[in-house]
Amino acid sequence: MLAVLQSTGVSLAELVYPPVCSGCGKMVGRRAALCGGCWTHVRFIERPYCEVTGVPFDHDRGDGLVSPQAISAPPPYERARAAVFHDGVARKLVHGLKYSDRADLAAMMASWMLRAGRDVVDDSDVIIAVPLHRARLFARRYNQSAELARALARLSGKQFLPGALKRVRATRQQVGLGLRARQDNVRGAFLTTNQQAQHFIGMKVLLVDDVLTTGSTVEAATRALLKAGAARVNVLTFARVASQGGETLYA
Q: Is 107 exposed, middle or buried (0-12, 13-18, 19+ CB in 10 A)?
A: middle
pLDDT of residue 10: 47
Distance of CA 27 to the CA centre of its chain: 27
In words, the CATH class of domain 43-240 is: alpha beta
The pLDDT tens digits of the residues spanning 33-90 come to 899 999 999 999 999 999 999 999 988 877 789 999 999 999 999 999 999 999 999 9
Cα-trace Rg, the chain = 19
**Is there a contact between 14 and 25 (Cβ–Cβ < 8 Å)?**
no
Instruction: Say how far apart CA 36 and CA 113 lie, in whole Å.
Output: 20
**Domain spans in the chain, listed from the N-terminal domain onward:** 1-41, 43-240
The pLDDT tens digits of the residues spanning 124-179 come to 999 999 998 887 777 788 999 999 999 999 999 999 999 999 987 655 555 555 55
The model carries a pTM of 0.86
Element spanning 207, H or E: strand 204-212
